[in-house]
A and B are shown apart, each in its own frame.
Chain A
Amino acid sequence: MNTLIERSWLRADGRKGIRNTLVVAYLVECAHHVAREIQMPYRESGAHLIGFSGCYPNDYSFRMMRSLCTHPNVGGVLLLSLGCEGFNRNGLRDAIRASGRPCELLVIQNSGGTRSTIASGRERAEAILTEMASQPRGPMLTSELCVGTVCGGSDGTSGITANPGIGRAFDQLVKAGATCIFEETGELIGCEQIMAARAATPALAAELTASVEKAARYYTTMGHGSFAPGNADGGLTTQEEKSMGAYSKSGSSPISGLIKPGDVPRTGGLYLLDVVPDGEPRFGFPNINDNAEIAELIACGSHLILFATGRGSVVGSAISPVIKVCANPETYRNLPEDMDVDAGRILEGRGTLDEVGAEIVQSIESTAAGHPTASEALGHQEFVLGYKSFSPIGPSCHPTYQ
Chain B
Amino acid sequence: MASDCIQLSPTDNIAVLTRSVGAEDAVRIGDATFSFPQALGLGHKIACRAIQPGEKILKYGAPIGSATQAIQVGEHVHLHNMKSDYLPTYTLEAGREFHATP
Which residues of A, 330-385, contact B by the 8 Å Cβ criterion? 346-349, 353
B19 touches A248 (CB 8 A): no
Report A-chain residues with C-beta under 8 Å of the C-beta of B85.
Answer: 238, 240
B43 touches A160 (CB 8 A): yes
Determine the residue in chain B with the shortest Cβ distance to A222. Answer: B95
A164 touches B17 (CB 8 A): no
Count residues on chain B whose CB falls below 8 Å from chain A CBs.
Answer: 38
A347 touches B64 (CB 8 A): no
A235 touches B41 (CB 8 A): yes
Determine the residue in chain A with the shortest Cβ distance to B100. Answer: A280
Q: How far is the CA of A232 from the CA of B12 in the complex (A)?
A: 20
Is A237 interfacial (CB-CB < 8 Å)?
yes
A194 touches B44 (CB 8 A): no
Is B82 interfacial (CB-CB < 8 Å)?
yes
B99 touches A240 (CB 8 A): no
Which residues of A, 245-263, contact B by the 8 Å Cβ criterion? 247-248, 252
B2 touches A156 (CB 8 A): no
B60 touches A238 (CB 8 A): no
Determine the residue in chain A with the shortest Cβ distance to B4. Answer: A349
Q: Chain A binding site: helix, strand, loop or mixed by DSSP? A: helix
Report B-chain residues with C-beta under 8 Å of the C-beta of A234.
Answer: 41, 43
Q: How far is the CA of A159 from the CA of B59 in the complex (A)?
A: 11
A164 touches B41 (CB 8 A): no
A191 touches B62 (CB 8 A): yes
The interface centre, meaning the residue of A164, A221, A238 with most chain B CB atoms within 10 A of its CB, is A238
Which residues of A, 211-248, contact B by the 8 Å Cβ criterion? 213, 216-218, 220-221, 232-241, 244, 247-248
Is B18 interfacial (CB-CB < 8 Å)?
yes
Q: How far is the CA of A191 from the CA of B84 in the complex (A)?
A: 11
Q: Shortest CB–CB separation between residue A132 and chain B, in angstroms? A: 44
Q: How far is the CA of A247 from the CA of B63 in the complex (A)?
A: 13
Which residues of B, 37-71, contact A by the 8 Å Cβ criterion? 40-45, 59-65
Q: How far is the CA of A346 from the CA of B8 in the complex (A)?
A: 11
Is A81 interfacial (CB-CB < 8 Å)?
no
Report B-chain residues with C-beta under 8 Å of the C-beta of A157.
Answer: 42-43
Given that A237-B78, A240-B65, A346-B6 are contacting pairs, would A248 and B99 also be in contact in the complex, using a CB cutoff of 8 Å?
A: no
B95 touches A217 (CB 8 A): yes
Q: How far is the CA of A240 from the CA of B84 in the complex (A)?
A: 7
Determine the residue in chain B with the shortest Cβ distance to A233. Answer: B41
Q: Shortest CB–CB separation between residue B73 and chain A, in angstroms? A: 18
With A189-B88, A235-B43, A239-B84 given, name 5 new contacts (CB 8 A).
Answer: A232-B79, A235-B16, A235-B42, A247-B60, A347-B19
B-to-A contact residues, CB < 8 Å: 2, 6, 8, 16-19, 40-45, 59-65, 77-79, 82-86, 88-92, 94-96, 98-99
A-to-B contact residues, CB < 8 Å: 156-157, 159-160, 164, 189-191, 194, 213, 216-218, 220-221, 232-241, 244, 247-248, 252, 279-281, 346-349, 353
Ordered by A's residue number, 13 sampled pairs between the chains whose C-beta atoms are within 8 Å are A157-B43, A160-B42, A191-B62, A216-B88, A217-B90, A220-B95, A221-B95, A238-B64, A244-B64, A252-B61, A280-B99, A349-B18, A353-B6
Q: Which 9 A-B pairs have the closest CB atoms?
A: A235-B43, A235-B44, A238-B84, A241-B64, A217-B95, A156-B43, A238-B65, A347-B18, A221-B95
